[in-house]
Amino acid sequence: MTQGRAYLDHNATSPVRPEVAAAVARALALPGNPSSVHQEGRAARAALEAAREAVAQLAGTAPDRVVFTSGGTEAANAVLSGALRRAGLPAPSKLLIGATEHPCVSAGHRFAPDCVETIPVDASGRIDLGALGARLDTLRDAVVLVSVHAANNETGVVQPLSEIVALARGHGRALVHSDAVQAMGKIPVDFDGLGLDALTLSGHKFAAPKGVGALALAEGVGLEAPFLRGGGQERRLRGGTENLPGLAGMGAAAELAATRLASEAQRLGLLRDELEAGVLARAPDAVVFGRGAPRLPNTLSFAVPGLDAATALIALDLAGVAVSSGSACASGKVARSPVLAAMGVSPALSAGALRVSLGWNTVESDGPRFLDAFERVISSLYKRRGEAA
């Protein structure tokens, strides 16, 4: 990180921890292929399986349920390819997705357009359980795949996965996938306890290297065909030699996240709440998105009427503060956030949306630095308003 800067964009990517970098270096020194049977291969395999065990523990499942991928997008694409099966059921014929899903879900599936339906969310960004239940009731004869993320990448709003799974089980022929990319390492995720059929995650969101991720499949649930054809790696679902250094780093990051989950949630939650209070004190007309709903402890998403996000981002960056206007996947695009649109936020207000997301290397001085820079941006906006009046 650049000296003297405040990096507050952990939902885009969380910088690699020093301990994780050390684990990557150790794995780079291993000469063997994890699929080889000689001593060097066995050492590589041991490192790979240690990483799988750590990721499984963080996700709340058994290691043999975890399949490694190149990231959350590949994992979600594989699950939503139409190949997901529960024993005794045919392929899903309908896909129901939440209105605020990440593009890896909303644009990454392979269902025909007339087989996909969007379930609305309320003004806070939480899935409309009544609408989901009603739609499942009308699809009693169909096998349905429901995909709702665990937490939103822009607003941090946490979804009621237990209730969603309960509705699916009441249907009897519905499977549930959750994109847990933003939740993993920030709040507890219990794959087995929730009763999910599939879960996907990405390492770089919890301080692992970029380019590694995983999917988890419940007992009795699998993919009908490999999503990457080649060798027999990863339960014969993803061919190709595994990215051992990256996965070893993800294992180390998962272990660190698991041991510090509660303490970091408390620390970052307090810092986030101080930031939120500071924003509202300086801009009383600011709107905090998802404020009335459960949110990730590290995430603050807000907008000030009349404030242009692009202008604010440049000013904050010049002041040494890195934040985002929303999803990093939409960086550089001048477009209304589909997440905020689904929540009923006006185009004018969503044009000024800013996202502050904290992480492991956030320190107390980062908050005042952001607020000082934000105050200068707001003062300029309010001065222009006064001149216009």
Catalytic residue selected from 25, 262, 310, 329: 329
Do residues 286 and 152 share a domain?
no
Do residues 266 and 357 share a domain?
yes
289 found inside a domain:
yes
Domain boundary among the residues 210, 226, 255 is at 255
Is 104 marked active-site? no
210 found inside a domain:
yes
Query: CB neighbours (10 Å) of residue 348?
Result: 11
Do residues 200 and 278 share a domain?
no
Q: Which amino acid is at 277?
A: A
Q: What is the pLDDT of residue 137?
A: 97
Do residues 283 and 342 share a domain?
yes
Are 136 and 174 in contact, with CB atoms under 8 Å apart? yes
Do residues 38 and 117 share a domain?
yes
Half-sphere exposure of 28 (CA within 13 A, CB side): 8
- CATH value at residue 41: 3.40.640.10
In angstroms, the CA 253 to CA 19 distance is 8
Do residues 307 and 202 share a domain?
no
Q: What is the pLDDT of residue 3?
A: 55
- CATH value at residue 327: 3.90.1150.10
164 found inside a domain:
yes
Per-residue pLDDT tens digits of the chain, which is 389 residues long: 445 899 999 999 999 999 999 999 999 999 999 999 999 999 999 999 999 999 999 999 999 999 999 999 999 999 999 899 999 999 999 999 999 999 999 999 999 999 999 999 999 999 999 999 999 999 999 999 999 999 999 999 999 999 999 999 999 999 999 999 999 999 999 999 999 999 999 999 999 999 999 999 999 999 999 999 999 999 999 999 999 999 999 999 999 999 999 999 999 999 999 999 999 999 999 999 999 999 999 999 999 999 999 999 999 999 999 999 965 555 555 467 999 999 999 999 999 999 999 999 999 999 999 999 999 999 987 777 777 66
Q: Domain range for residue 106? A: 18-255
1 found inside a domain:
no
Domain boundary among the residues 240, 255, 270 is at 255
Q: What is the pLDDT of residue 327?
A: 58
CA dist 7 → 90, 92, 199 (Å): 47, 42, 29
Do residues 79 and 202 share a domain?
yes
Do residues 172 and 282 share a domain?
no
CA dist 329 → 13, 47, 182, 308, 340 (Å): 11, 31, 13, 19, 15
269 found inside a domain:
yes
Q: What is the pLDDT of residue 380?
A: 86
Handedness of CA 13, 372, 274, 123 (dihedral sign): negative
Do residues 247 and 269 share a domain?
no
In angstroms, the CA 222 to CA 303 distance is 42
Q: What is the pLDDT of residue 328?
A: 56
Do residues 292 and 217 share a domain?
no
Do residues 76 and 207 share a domain?
yes
Q: Indicate the number of domains in the chain.
A: 2
65 found inside a domain:
yes
Q: What is the pLDDT of residue 382?
A: 74
Domain boundary among the residues 209, 240, 255 is at 255
Do residues 76 and 203 share a domain?
yes
